[in-house]
Amino acid sequence: MNDATHHGSSTDTLGHPRGLVTLFFTEMWERMSYYGMRALLVLFMTANLQDGGLAITVASATAIYGLYTGAVYFMGLPGGWIADRLLGGQRAVWYGGIIIMIGHIVLAIPSDQTFFIGLVIVVLGTGLLKPNIGAMVGGLYASNDERRDSGFAIYYMGINIGSVLGNIVCGYLAVNQGWHWAFGAAAIGMGVGLIQYRLTSYKLEGVSALPADPLSAKSRQTSWFVIGAALVAIAAVTGLALSGQLIINPQVVAEYTAFIITGVFLLYFGYIYFLGKLNSTEKKSMLALLLICFASAFFWSGFEQAGSSMNLFARDYTDRMIGSFEVPTAWFQSLNSFFIILLSPFFAALWISLGRSVWDPSSGFKCAVGLLIMGSGFVAMFFAAEVAARGLTVAPYWLILTYFLHTVGELCLSPIALSAVTKLSPRRFAGQLMGVFVLTYSIGNVIAGVMAGSYDPEAIETIPALYKQISMISIGAALLFIAISLKTKPWEKLAANENKDEESQATSQAT
């Protein structure tokens, strides 16, 4: 993930490098396809056969959902590496997008067998696209460019506009035309994104056009061979599972996977920390980053109930009638993105004014507060579930309130964390650490899937306990992280100063 060298040129759009427009729309369409399909995933898997669904149990469906969303982000690790060392970010995003579109086309084929094949293809494509497009946004700015945070805030808006579009279009089509029409719409969305990317990629002006740290010709050959072998292995496992020769219990796999991904995260992080020849300032900034990673993993473990248990709660226990119109269940998924779009400008202003204040909270503190607010959203869900447990239909305001609190939490954590990763990472590990950070999404998604498995629609009285547990864990962890963030705050500052020094040294050497 190339560090770009053109900052603040005359070709800026609205005060930002014009490549941001290209990346904004590409990611918007990619997220339209991702969230449009994701909103339907659990609903489709748990729907009866006569409703065109797969009639899978809630526990298995939420585990598959967790594994799928976890795998999407896990593949960001090899995806980031492939861009850094083999393809360059620009080509990784292009091929990733093509693979994603093929995945959605396969999902649009109305057959149970192709469903899982489609999911595997989308996972592979997203792994290639997602971390690299984020790192390319970072690559548009010099490390001391103060437009970086605001660039990420704009990019985050793009993500969420795409998400609203996907939820609305795919949610509507699923109810009125059928599941596979909705999956097809996701393919079209990705297709539009690809055309847009192709036509405007000149605006990227060479950012990540080439691999940042290319391998020698011989190592390239070996790497492609290993990648080919890994793909054959994935195809073989998928084939064996589909033909019934390999019995996979998604719940058990999901539980193990959560441990394995956490292990990979700690090992990779530890490898860079202990063996990366870091100086003491870099080590301190890595520790500040570790706190942010922990907060992120806890955050998504709770937040990601959205597409699973909260989605089912919207379907089964929530009053969705407006007059005679029944609001499609998936539309509730768009509340999060809707609030993001609404609240982003407010938060952008808040961070700027806090940044100028004497207090100036650290990134770690903001992330921990985000976790706290997300946890409080589950307190609302707990009360809503109590009402449902009494056999009543719950007013939609409860879910709306929860999504509101979750979104406020997300705005304190997610864009702040993304920007912090690009700031706190030692420069030579920037790309890899973005991949490592994306693993926290993966951990969160898998754990969320496992926890959602205890949502039993036949035993509504157990649901309040699920939400109570999530809120207590999140709030407890948040309080601990807030305390630790007081310690890591000066370490964040050290990193910022060091980067500034490096940057000015580089500039003075260059001139």
| Residue 333 CA neighbour count, 13 Å, CB half | 36
Verify binding: residue 180, ligand GLN, rule CB under 6 A: no
DSSP annotation string for 15-76: TB-THHHHHHHHHHHHHHHHHHHHHHHHHHHHS-GGGTS----HHHHHHHHHHHHHHHHHTH
Task: Determine if 441 is a binding residue for ligand GLN (CB under 6 A).
Answer: yes
**Which string of b and e fits 311-341 if b means at least 16 CB within 10 Å?**
bbbbbbbbebeeeeeebbbbbbbbbbbbbbb
User: What is the nearest approach in angstroms of ligand GLN to the Cβ of residue 216?
Assistant: 34
To the nearest whole angstrom, how small is the minimum distance from the Cβ of residue 300 to ligand GLN? 5
155 sits near ligand GLN (criterion: CB under 6 A): no
Work out how close the CB of 29 gets to ligand GLN at its nearest, in angstroms, rounded to a whole number. Answer: 13
- Verify binding: residue 404, ligand GLN, rule CB under 6 A: no
Q: Nearest distance from residue 31's CB to ligand GLN, in Å? A: 6
452 binds ligand GLN (CB under 6 A): no
Q: How far is the CB of 422 from ligand GLN (least distance, A)?
A: 15
Nearest CB to ligand GLN, comparing residues 47 and 159: 159
Among 18, 31, 147, 406, binds ligand GLN (CB under 6 A): 31
Contact between 75 and ligand GLN by CB under 6 A: the answer reads: no
Q: Which two tokens stand for residue 341?
A: 């779009």
Least separation in angstroms between CB 72 and ligand GLN: 9
Q: Which two tokens stand for residue 507?
A: 């500039």
**For the chain, counts of helices (H) and of strands (E):** 16, 2
Number of other CB atoms surrounding residue 53 within 10 Å: 17
Residue 37 interacts with ligand GLN (CB under 6 A): yes or no? no
Phi then psi for residue 16, to 5 deg, are -125, 155
Site mask for ligand GLN (CB under 6 A), range 287-316, x = bound: -------------x----------------
| Contact status: 265 vs ligand GLN (CB under 6 A) | no
Distances (CA, A) of 117 to 98, 99, 171, 231, 245: 16, 12, 22, 13, 16
Which one among 43, 99, 159, 291 touches ligand GLN, defined by CB under 6 A?
A: 159
Is residue 168 near ligand GLN by the rule CB under 6 A?
no
Q: Does 406 bind ligand GLN (CB under 6 A)?
A: no
Q: Name which of 254 and 495 has its Cβ closer to ligand GLN.
A: 254
Site membership for ligand GLN, residue 208 (CB under 6 A): no
| Strand positions, DSSP E, 83-124 | none
The residue with its CB nearest to ligand GLN is: 441
Q: Which is nearer to ligand GLN, 389 or 473 (CB)?
A: 473
Strand partners, 419: none
Does residue 365 touch ligand GLN according to CB under 6 A?
no
Q: Are 483 and 365 in contact (CB under 8 A)?
A: no
Instruction: Provide the β-strand partners of residue 326.
Output: 321
Least separation in angstroms between CB 198 and ligand GLN: 22
Q: How far is the CB of 193 from ligand GLN (least distance, A)?
A: 14
- The C-alpha torsion from 81 through 85 and 87 to 90, rounded to 10°, is 70
Least distance from ligand GLN to the Cβ atom of residue 414, Å: 6
Two tokens, residue 319: 């009053």
How do beta strands 325-326 and 321-322 pair?
antiparallel
The Cα–Cα gap between 232 and 335 comes to 40
Q: Tell which residue, 238, 271, 268, 276, has the closest CA to residue 442.
A: 268
Q: Select the residue interacting with ligand GLN from 167, 414, 471, 474 (CB under 6 A).
A: 414
Is the Cβ of residue 422 or residue 499 nearer to ligand GLN in the bound state?
Answer: 422
Q: Nearer to ligand GLN by C-beta: 131 or 464?
A: 131
Nearer to ligand GLN, 127 or 464 (CB): 127
- DSSP 3-state assignment of 325? strand
Total chain residues near ligand GLN (CB under 6 A): 5
Token pair recorded at residue 325: 């119109």
**To the nearest whole angstrom, how small is the minimum distance from the Cβ of residue 509 to ligand GLN?**
36
List contacts with ligand GLN (CB under 6 A). 31, 159, 300, 414, 441
